[in-house]
Structure formats: structure tokens, C-alpha cells
């Protein structure tokens, strides 16, 4: 592991120990730094805290928020709430998959430009179906519309 | 708020998504260029951000107040601001065609706002504005003039029940916790709102975070807790921000920390971010999550009120429950008990969504008939389609059909028809929604969110989903309905926690009221609502087709052929029934049957 990465992890460790934070908080901070939870960071942290790595993995794989693989530059999040569902969220997902040429078990494009994710509900049901790209919320989407909106993010 | 002109802009998540930040920025710019700033801005003219005001379908909503008169504009976009400033603010001529209509008032007049009253009026980021509407007076009164036992007695008398779903009496819960001998106790605010289609708690935290904190202070004092936690979804960044801001402000003012209101009572609150697990809304799973573990529930008893966080007596209350508490302390238990129905007191905040005209956040007295909510407040079904059902309680609830449209909305009423209050999400479905598909949608959700600890839920939801999937794909078998019914009942009766116990509700209620739709899928291999693609045949109506070729372009298996500007044709032997052509056609020429 690189020295700079270790320094970042040490910083997180110091801060979390001082605050008495649990491993969920520590993992959230690691993910904030790296964009995902790198495998080597789990082992580094497990050594540092003397907590078995399996406990970290138990938590990481339990919660939807944690990612074990690097994610793309742009994160596309499609809301899968009830209202978005009845207003056609699944058709939007297939369209995005088609546009980004994602295979069935794939969520990130090869060039690391996009990652497609879903969320249970963002609670913006009045403008369903909703797609969030990074921090921008796109309401009342349709398959054709989302293709148009994603163009702006393509390099 | 003594300035002569005030512009209120909704800055809740709904408003922001509709562009309210840009609208507000535009007002700021226009005021500057119009010279309002130099002459009057800040003194006589003020831009004011407020929380969710309910009628999200009309966002962005803007209030312009001149003196003591207020006009409300709907569907405002940034480019419209210039004219509002020029004509209305400067010229004193309201732009009538952009104002809200009568239905805006019908929407609001049929509600009773206890919790949402201050949302949409006060700036959620300012503690001064909360204090100006009698904020923190209830906490002061509770801590300085009442004993913990008196507070608990008041809660019991008020009849307040938990707004998170199960509806357990709050006062009773508090008394269980207070009765324990313990050196430490905890109070937790459950803001892990996970039901799809529900956004009540988010809106309350975003629009009036101090009311929740005040409720927690009163609750903590009543049960003798010195530490509190707010467990909130990380997917709600705005709510988390405003909550943190409110905590800072409350600490500065001395409403949190040591020796509150000059008494010997100490109390502080920490924020814990949820990491995206629906099951963490369950009390014991939530506690495990705060302790840094996998959020898996455990068997009860012992109940958290006796043995909870770190093994100490713990009270977990929902956001809306806590937001009710200051009002009950200030206005009295009798006042609160006078609202609502016999066994369900007070009001309920409901996220009214789906195929309905007036989507939004509403608050109604408990016991209001379903019909009034959907057809008066909600304005009826979108696009004049036929009402089919209303889904309440999220993945734990059920679908209520037309025949129960007069049902009073309270805990008992909803339960009696096989649904539940849940956290208060209400999704209206119309004739174009397939009930088997809805049932499958919720099972997909609960199956994915099942923590896997107990067998009935882990395997039962998986099997239920498999059966539903094959029914919607045209592979339903004879006997599937009976199998679904039996398995759903088993999962309900034998699961460990509320997730598993309620997960079969969507299946059971749709089986009860919409059995014919299941039968059509299984026996005739037809989807009456034309939703389940695998059961449909796609074809092109020659008289409607202009031959633009959009459908052929969208088809990933090249099943559509035709010459340019001539009607196209779908080869059904190649068609994979993905529905892309249906979406692509701008002339409604693609039909499904």
C-alpha cells in the first residue's frame, strides 16, 4: 500500500478512536476517501484495530451503501420506489443499460465513466420516475429523455 | 419578519428537484438588478427559504407577501421570476394566470396541520424562527414545571401512538422504560425511513428539525436518558445537513448540553447515519446498527425499553411521534385526544403519491375516510382513469380496493382490511396497474432486504418471489394461488421480526381482492392491465404508423421491418417483448394486447 493511503487510513483511525466511533462509521469514512472500500484498506484497518477482517466484511456486505469495487466517474442512481416503479422505472433502467452497453451483471462501464445503481426510494415521488446523476436530480424521466440527459455527461 | 415584502421559496427535496434553488437565485439577482437591493432589500424586502409545504405536484411554489397579503404562485421556473419581480414586487400587480387555483385551497382546507403547520412557514435552518413560533417553550415547560411522571401521564392521556407503523402507545412505552433501575438510558429517534413511496419523516426533518429535537429533549427527561441518537438514512443528504445544523444551533442556545433550562438535567444528541438496510427500521436491528454490527434483529422480549442500546433501557420513537410531543405539552393531552378517532388520536402525516392529481405531503385527522383523502385532497385520479386500489404501509402493507373506499384511515381501520398504517405512505393505483406485478414488486423489495437471520423470511420470501415471477412471465401453474396463500401465511406467522411478519401482506391482500387477476395470468396467460410484457403481444397499427422508423431503431433484436414512410411490421417470432418500440413510438401506433 502506498504511504499516502496509509496516512489517510491512520488519520481515519485516529479520528474514530478519539470519537469512540464504531466500524460502520470508520468504513463510511474510508469509502468517502477512496470512493469505495479497497480490500487492502480493510486488512490494514483490521490489523490496526485488532478486529478480525471478517467482521468488517460482514458489515460491508450487509449494508447496501458499501462498495468493494471502484465506481465510475459519474454515478447514475435510478429510484426504484413504488411510484417510480408504476411509472416505468424498469424501462428506464433497461434503456440506460442499453445506452451504456452494460452486461447483465455489470454495473460500471469499462472506461470507468459511469456506474449504474438503484435506490429504494428518494422520496421525490411527485416527480417520478426519478434519476439522479451525481447530485443532480432529473424528474419525470422517460427512456428517450434519459438518453438525452446522459449525453451531457459523456466525454 | 417585519419587512414589507417577503418571497417564500420551498427548499425541500421536492422543491429543489423541481429547481427551487435556481428560482431563489433568480429572485436574488432580479432584486439586485432591479435596484431593490440598494433601496430596500434586506430591510423592506426579504427572500425566505422554507421547508416542504405539501403540494409537491405544483413545485416550485413561491409565496409573495406584500404587507399582510400573500399570493401563492405555482409551477414557477427561473425564467418566470423576472416578470414576478417587475409586475408584482415592483409594480404591485399580481400575475393572475400564474397564481394557484381553487384546488390549491381545497387541498389545504381539508387537512388539519399539527406537525406540518410550521413547515413551509419557517426557515428550517434558523433556530430563531423556530423560537419565534413558540419553539422550545414546551421543553422549557416540561423540564421546569413538570415531573417525568407527569409528562408520561400526559402522553398516556393524549392517546399518542407510535407513528412508525405498529402504533404502540407512546406513553406506555415510556413508562416501561422509566420503570427500570439503571444508571443510564437512551432515547433514539428513528429517522431510517425506508418504505418506498414514503417521505413524511424526511420532510419533517428537512422542514422543521427543531421540533424533532424538542420532542427528544422532552422524552429524554421523561425517561431519564442523558444521551440521544438520531438514526437517519444517508440517502437523505439535505435532512442530515439540516439536522446537524439544528443540533449546533440548539447547543449554542443551551437547549442541548449541560444543565438545560437552568435545571440539573444534562442531555446531548448524536447523529448516526444509516448505511442502507431497510431492516434497520426494526428496533433491535437499529440498535445493532448503532453498535456497529450487521443490522440483524433479535428475538423480543427483552424489549428495548428494558434492554436496548449497549444493554441499557432504550426508547426508540419515530420522527413524527417526536414532532407531536411539543404540541401535546403546550396544548394539553385533552386537546390532542379531541382530534382523531376513538382509538387513534391526533393527526397522521401521509405521503400521497402515485396515479393521483395532487401528489404531496398531507396531514389529516386520524379516521378521515379514504375517499376524502383520494378524491377531495388528492383531487382524484390522474388523467381521469379509473381508481383501482390504494397501497398503504409500503412493503409491509396491502392494497385496498374500491369496495373499501369509505374506510376510516386509522390503525384499526387499515388493519381490518389486511393492510396497515405503516409509516404513512399511500400510493394510488389506477386501472393500468397490474396487481400481480405490484405484489411481485414488493416481494422483490422484501426479499432483497431480508437480513437472512431467520428461515421463514429468508427462504419464504425467495420462494414467494419465484412463484410470482413465473406467474407474471406466463409460466404460472395450476395450484400456484393456493401455494402462494399457504406459504404467505406461514411466513407471516413464523418470522422473527416485523419485516418477515408483514412481508406477505402485499400478496395476501392482492390475493384477497384481486384474485381474478392472478387467475387471468395463470389460466388465460393474460395480463388484464397490460403490464406484464411477457404475456403481451406487440403489434403496429398500420393506420397510425407514419413510418418514421423510430421503433425499428429501438428494437434490439431487429424484429421490426418496414420501408421509410410506410407502415412498419413486428415479427412476433423474433420479438422478445421488451417494450422498447412501445416507448419509442411518438404516434401511439405500437399497441400491446
What share of chain B has pLDDT > 70, as a percent?
98
pLDDT beyond 60 at B1: no
Task: Say which residues have a Cβ less than 8 Å from residue B236's Cβ, sequence separation at least 6.
Answer: A123, B13, B191, B193, B202, B205, B206
Q: Considering only CB atoms, which chain B residues are within 8 Å of A59? A: 275, 292-294
Helix (H) or strand (E) holding B461: helix B455-472
Rounded Cα gap, residues B70 and B8, in angstroms: 10
B427 lies within 8 A of chain A by CB: yes
Tell me which chain A residues have a C-beta less than 8 angstroms from the C-beta of B354. Answer: 82-83, 86, 125
Q: Which of A22, A126, A127 sits opposite B292 (nearest CB)?
A: A22
Chains A & B: contacts with CB separation below 8 Å = 127
User: Chain A residues with CB inside 8 Å of B592's CB?
Assistant: none
The answer, yes or no, to whether residue B391 has pLDDT greater than 50, is: yes
Of the candidates B199, B272, B583, which has its C-beta nearest A125's C-beta? Answer: B199
Does the structure show a pLDDT above 60 at B123? yes
Position B486 scores a pLDDT of 97
Using an 8 Å CB-CB cutoff, list chain B residues near A102.
none
Nearest by CB to B196, from A64, A82, A94: name it. Answer: A82
Helix (H) or strand (E) holding B288: helix B283-290
Q: Are the beta carbons of A66 and B275 closer than 8 angstroms?
A: yes
Mean pLDDT, residues B385-391? 95
Provide, as residue numbers in chain B, all residues whose Cβ is less than 8 Å from the Cβ of A62: 277, 294-296, 451
Q: Is the pLDDT of residue A1 over 80?
A: no
Query: Which chain A residue's Cα is nearest to B427?
Result: A83
3-class DSSP state of B34: coil
pLDDT tens-digit map of B264-291? 999 999 999 988 899 999 999 999 999 9
Instruction: Give the cell for residue B376.
Output: 377531495
Q: Using an 8 Å Cβ cutoff, are B496 and B457 in contact?
A: yes
pLDDT of residue B37: 52
- With a CB-CB cutoff of 8 Å, which residues 6-65 of chain A face chain B? 22-25, 28, 58-59, 62-65
ipTM of the complex: 0.91
Distances (CA, A) of A93 to A107, B163, B187, B443, B576: 11, 34, 40, 19, 17
Distance from the B264 Cα atom to the nearest Cα atom in chain A, whole angstroms: 25
CB pair distance less than 8 Å for B351 and A123: yes
Per-residue confidence (pLDDT) for residue B398, from 0 to 100: 94
CA distance B423 to B333: 23
* Interface residue of A37, A49, A82 to substitute, partner B, most B CBs within 10 Å: A82
pLDDT greater than 80 at residue B26: yes
DSSP B473-536: TT---TTHHHHHHHHHHHHHHH-SSHHHHHTTHHHHHHHHH-HHHHHHHHHS---TTS--GGG-
**Cβ pair B353:A119 closer than 8 A:** no
Query: What is the C-alpha separation between B159 and A129, in angstroms, rounded?
Result: 38
Q: How far is B104 from chain A (nearest CA, A)?
A: 15
Q: B357 CB near a chain A CB, below 8 Å?
A: no
Closest-CA residue of B relative to A21 is B292
In the predicted structure, residue B258 carries a pLDDT above the cut 50:
yes
Specify the pLDDT at position B2. 45
**Domain coordinates in residue numbering, chain A:** 3-62, 74-151
- Taking only the tens place, the pLDDT of each residue in B412-444 is 999 999 999 988 899 999 999 999 999 999 999
- Banded model confidence at residue B351, pLDDT cuts 50, 70, 90: very high
> Residue A77: phi, psi to the nearest 5?
-115, 120
Q: What is the pLDDT of residues B453-489, one digit of tens each?
A: 999 999 999 999 999 999 999 999 999 999 999 999 9
Task: List the single best residue of B10, B294, B352 to mutate versus A (max A Cβ within 10 A).
Answer: B294
pLDDT of residue B555: 87
Phi, psi angle pair for A133, to nearest 5°? -115, 115
- Joined together, the cell numbers standing for residue B507 give 400478496
Question: What is the per-residue pLDDT across B175-229, written as a single tens digit (0 to 9) for each?
Answer: 999 999 999 999 999 999 888 888 999 999 999 999 999 999 999 999 999 999 9
Contact A63 B351 (CB under 8 A): no
Does A144 lie at the interface with B, CB-CB under 8 angstroms? Answer: yes
Whether A22 and B360 lie within 8 Å, measured CB to CB: no
- Closest-CA distance, A47 to chain B, in angstroms, reads 18
**Residue B90 near chain A (CB below 8 Å):** no
CB-based contact, A95 to chain B, within 8 Å: yes
- Quickly list DSSP for A22-43: -HHHHHHHHHHHHSS--HHHHH
Q: How far apart are CA B51 and CA B297, in angstroms?
A: 34
Q: How far is B40 from chain A (nearest CA, A)?
A: 34
**Cross-chain Cβ contact B584/A91 below 8 Å:** no
Query: What average pLDDT score do residues A29-56 get?
Result: 95
Q: Do A63 and B14 touch (CB under 8 A)?
A: no
Where are the extended beta strands (E) located within B437-481?
none
Q: Which domains does chain B have, with CATH numbers?
A: 5-101 (3.40.30.10), 134-337 (3.40.50.11540), 347-430 (3.10.20.600), 435-523 (1.20.1440.230), 537-592 (3.30.70.20)
Nearest-CB residue to A123 (from B13, B275, B579) = B13
User: In the β-sheet with A131-133, what is the strand arrangement from edge to edge?
Assistant: A114-119, A74-79, A131-133, A136-138
CA distances (Å), B224 to each of B184, B217, B322, in order?
A: 8, 10, 16
Distance (Å, whole) CA B473 – CA B536: 10
Burial B539-567 (b: 16+ CB within 10 A, else e): bbeeeebebbbbbbebbeeebbebeeeee
Question: Partners of B270 in the beta sheet?
Answer: B229
pLDDT band at B234 (very low <50, low <70, confident <90, very high): confident
User: How many Å apart are CA B129 and CA B77, to the nearest integer?
Assistant: 27
**What whole-number distance in Å separates Cα of residue A90 and Cα of residue B472?**
15
> Rounded CA gap, B407 and B111, in Å?
17
Asked if the model's pLDDT at residue A15 lies above 70, the reply is: yes
* Top-confidence residue, B32 or B178: B178
Q: Whose grid coordinates read 378517532?
A: B341
Give percent helix, percent strand, percent coil of chain B, each to the nearest 5. 45, 15, 40
Do A63 and B295 lie within an 8 Å CB cutoff? yes
Mean pLDDT estimate for chain B: 92
Please name which of B521, B515, B545, B534 lies closest in space to residue B577, comparing C-alpha atoms.
Answer: B534
> What φ, ψ does residue B201 adopt, rounded to 5°?
-65, -40
The reply to whether A142 touches chain B by the CB within 8 Å rule is yes
Residues with Cβ within 8 Å of residue A83, at least 6 apart in sequence:
A125, A128, A129, B196, B197, B353, B354, B427
B107, B196, B227, B556: best mutation site toward chain A, by most A Cβ within 10 Å? B196
A98 touches chain B (CB under 8 A): yes
pLDDT at B36: 61
> What's the grid cell of residue A142?
422517460
Rounded Cα distance, B550 and B240, in Å = 44
Mutate to test the interface with A, among B241, B292, B381 (most CBs of A within 10 A): B292
| Chain segment B532-590, per-residue pLDDT in tens | 999 999 999 999 999 999 999 888 889 999 998 999 999 989 998 888 888 888 899 99
Closest CA to B85 of B123, B47, B42: B47
Of A58, A62, A127, the CB nearest to B277: A62
How close, in Å, is residue A1 to chain B by CA atoms? 26
* Alpha-carbon gap, residue B152 to B139, rounded angstroms: 14
Q: What is the pLDDT of residue B412?
A: 94
A chain contacts of residue B391, beta-carbon cutoff 8 Å:
82
Q: For residue B35, what pLDDT is reported?
A: 67
- The secondary structure element, H or E, covering residue B370 is helix B370-371
Phi, psi of B62 (to 5 degrees): -135, 130
Q: State residue B18's pLDDT score.
A: 85
Q: Decide if A125 and B56 are in contact by the 8 Å CB cutoff.
A: yes
Partner A contacted by B95 (CB < 8 A) = no
- Round the CA-based radius of gyration of chain B to a whole number and report it: 26
Distance from CA of B338 to the nearest CA of A (A): 31
pLDDT beyond 90 at B34: no
- Which chain B residue is nearest to residue A61, measuring alpha carbons? B294
Distance from the first to the final alpha carbon of chain A: 31
Contacts of B255 (CB under 8 A, 6+ apart): B136, B139, B213, B214, B217, B261
Q: Does B351 touch chain A (CB under 8 A)?
A: yes
- From the list B194, B197, B578, the residue facing A125 with the nearest CB is B197
Q: Per-residue pLDDT for B39 more than 50? A: no
Which residues lie closer than 8 Å to A81 by C-beta, 6 or more apart? A89, A120, A121, A122, A123, A125, A128, A130, B196, B197
Nearest to B14 among A59, A85, A124 (CB): A124
Could you tell me if B17 lies within 8 Å of chain A, comparing CB atoms? yes
- How distant is the Cα of B353 from the closest Cα of chain A, in angstroms? 6
Largest CA distance in chain B: 85
Q: Between chains, do B17 and A23 touch, taking CB under 8 Å as contact?
A: no
In this model, does residue B52 exceed pLDDT 90? no
Quote the minimal CA–CA distance from B45 to chain A in Å: 30
Burial B204-235 (b: 16+ CB within 10 A, else e): bbbbbbbbbbbbbbbbbbbbbbebbbbbbbbb
B41 pLDDT exceeds 60?
no
For the beta carbon of residue A32, count every other beta carbon within 10 angstroms: 9
Work out the percent of chain B whose per-residue pLDDT is above 90.
77
Residue B581: how many other CB atoms lie within 10 Å: 25
How confident is the model over B94-98, as a mean pLDDT? 94
> At which residue does the C-alpha cell 401528489 appear?
B359
List C-alpha distances in Å: B104 to B56, B101, B110, B552. 11, 6, 11, 44
Residues B394 and B197: their CA atoms lie apart, in Å, by 7
The CATH number given to A74-151 is 3.40.30.10
Which is nearest to B492 in space by CA: B511, B477, B478, B469?
B511
> Do B295 and A62 count as a contact with CB atoms less than 8 A apart?
yes
* Residues B193/B276, Cβ–Cβ less than 8 Å: no
Residue B124 touches chain A, beta carbons under 8 Å: no
Q: Does pLDDT of B38 surpass 50?
A: no
The position carrying cell 450487521 is B294
Distance in angstroms (rounded) separating the CA atoms of residues A22 and A51: 11
Amino acid at each position: 500500500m502506498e504511504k499516502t493511503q496509509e496516512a489517510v487510513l491512520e488519520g481515519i483511525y485516529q479520528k474514530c478512536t478519539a470519537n469512540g466511533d464504531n466500524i460502520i462509521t470508520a468504513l463510511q469514512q474510508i469509502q468517502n476517501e477512496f470512493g469505495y472500500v479497497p480490500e487492502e484498506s480493510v486488512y490494514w484497518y483490521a490489523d490496526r484495530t485488532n478486529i478480525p477482517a471478517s467482521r468488517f466484511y460482514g458489515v460491508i456486505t450487509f449494508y447496501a451503501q458499501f462498495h468493494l469495487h471502484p465506481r465510475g466517474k459519474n454515478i447514475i442512481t435510478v429510484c426504484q420506489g413504488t411510484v417510480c416503479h408504476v411509472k416505468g422505472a424498469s424501462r428506464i433502467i433497461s434503456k440506460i443499460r442499453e445506452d451504456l452497453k452494460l452486461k447483465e451483471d455489470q454495473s460500471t462501464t469499462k472506461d470507468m465513466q459511469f456506474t449504474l445503481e438503484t435506490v429504494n426510494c428518494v422520496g421525490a415521488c411527485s416527480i417520478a420516475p426519478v434519476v439522479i446523476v451525481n447530485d443532480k436530480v432529473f424528474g419525470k424521466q422517460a427512456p428517450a429523455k434519459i438518453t438525452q440527459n446522459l449525453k451531457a455527461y459523456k466525454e | 419578519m417585519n419587512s414589507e415584502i417577503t418571497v417564500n421559496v420551498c427548499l425541500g427535496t421536492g422543491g429543489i428537484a423541481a429547481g427551487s434553488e435556481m428560482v431563489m437565485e433568480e429572485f436574488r439577482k432580479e432584486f439586485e438588478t432591479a435596484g431593490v437591493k440598494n433601496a430596500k432589500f434586506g430591510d423592506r424586502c426579504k427572500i425566505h427559504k422554507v421547508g416542504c409545504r405539501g403540494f409537491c405536484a405544483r413545485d416550485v411554489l413561491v409565496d409573495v407577501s406584500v404587507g399582510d397579503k400573500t399570493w401563492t404562485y405555482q409551477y414557477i421556473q427561473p425564467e418566470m421570476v423576472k416578470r414576478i419581480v417587475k409586475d408584482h414586487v415592483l409594480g404591485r400587480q399580481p400575475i393572475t394566470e400564474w397564481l394557484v387555483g381553487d384546488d390549491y385551497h381545497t387541498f389545504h382546507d381539508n387537512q388539519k396541520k399539527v406537525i406540518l403547520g410550521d413547515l413551509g412557514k419557517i426557515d428550517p435552518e434558523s433556530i430563531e424562527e423556530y423560537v419565534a413560533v413558540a419553539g422550545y417553550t414546551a421543553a422549557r415547560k416540561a423540564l421546569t414545571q413538570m415531573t417525568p411522571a407527569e409528562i408520561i401521564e400526559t402522553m398516556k392521556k393524549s392517546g399518542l401512538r407510535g407513528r412508525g407503523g405498529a402504533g404502540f402507545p407512546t406513553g406506555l412505552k415510556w413508562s416501561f422504560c422509566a420503570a427500570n433501575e439503571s444508571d443510564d438510558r437512551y432515547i433514539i429517534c428513528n429517522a431510517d425511513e425506508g418504505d418506498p413511496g414514503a417521505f413524511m419523516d424526511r420532510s419533517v426533518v428537512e422542514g422543521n428539525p427543531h421540533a424533532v429535537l424538542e420532542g427528544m429533549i422532552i422524552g429524554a427527561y421523561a425517561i431519564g436518558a442523558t444521551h440521544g441518537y438520531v438514526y437517519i438514512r444517508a440517502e437523505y443528504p439535505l435532512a442530515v445537513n439540516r439536522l446537524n445544523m439544528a443540533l449546533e444551533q440548539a447547543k449554542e442556545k443551551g437547549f442541548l448540553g449541560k444543565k438545560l433550562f437552568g435545571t440539573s438535567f444534562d442531555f446531548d444528541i448524536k447523529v448516526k447515519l444509516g448505511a442502507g438496510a431497510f431492516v434497520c427500521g426494526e428496533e433491535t436491528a437499529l440498535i445493532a446498527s448503532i453498535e456497529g454490527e450487521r443490522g440483524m434483529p433479535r428475538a423480543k422480549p427483552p424489549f428495548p425499553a428494558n434492554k436496548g442500546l449497549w444493554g441499557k433501557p432504550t426508547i426508540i420513537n419515530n420522527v413524527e411521534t417526536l414532532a407531536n410531543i411539543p404540541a401535546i405539552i403546550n396544548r394539553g393531552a385533552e386537546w390532542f385526544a379531541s382530534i382523531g378517532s376513538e382509538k387513534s388520536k391526533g393527526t397522521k402525516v401521509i405521503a400521497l403519491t402515485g396515479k393521483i392529481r395532487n401528489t404531496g405531503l398531507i396531514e389529516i385527522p386520524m379516521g378521515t375516510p379514504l375517499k376524502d383523502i383520494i378524491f377531495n385532497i388528492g383531487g382524484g385520479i390522474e388523467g381521469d382513469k379509473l381508481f383501482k386500489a390504494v397501497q398503504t404501509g409500503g412493503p409491509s402493507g396491502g392494497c385496498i380496493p374500491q369496495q373499501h373506499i369509505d374506510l376510516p384511515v386509522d390503525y384499526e381501520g387499515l388493519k381490518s382490511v389486511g393492510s396497515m398504517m405503516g409509516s404513512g405512505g399511500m400510493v394510488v393505483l389506477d386501472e393500468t396497474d397490474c396487481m400481480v406485478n405490484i405484489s411481485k414488486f414488493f416481494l422483490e423489495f422484501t426479499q432483497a432486504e431480508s437480513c437472512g437471520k431467520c428461515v421463514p423470511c429468508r427462504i419464504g420470501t425467495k420462494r414467494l418471489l419465484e412463484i410470482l415471477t413465473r406467474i407474471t412471465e406466463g409460466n404460472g401453474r395450476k395450484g400456484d394461488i393456493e401455494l402462494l396463500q399457504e406459504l404467505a401465511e406461514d411466513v407471516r406467522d413464523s418470522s422473527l421480526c416485523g419485516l418477515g411478519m408483514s412481508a406477505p401482506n402485499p400478496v395476501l391482500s392482492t390475493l384477497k381482492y384481486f384474485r381474478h387477476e392472478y387467475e387471468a395470468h395463470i389460466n388465460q396467460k393474460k395480463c388484464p392491465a397490460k403490464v406484464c410484457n411477457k404475456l403481451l403481444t406487440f403489434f403496429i397499427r398500420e393506420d397510425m404508423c407514419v413510418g418514421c422508423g423510430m421503433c425499428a431503431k429501438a428494437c434490439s433484436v431487429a424484429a421490426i421491418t418496414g420501408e421509410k414512410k410506410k407502415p412498419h411490421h413486428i415479427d412476433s417470432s423474433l420479438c422478445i417483448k421488451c417494450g422498447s418500440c412501445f416507448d419509442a413510438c411518438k404516434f401511439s401506433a405500437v399497441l400491446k394486447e
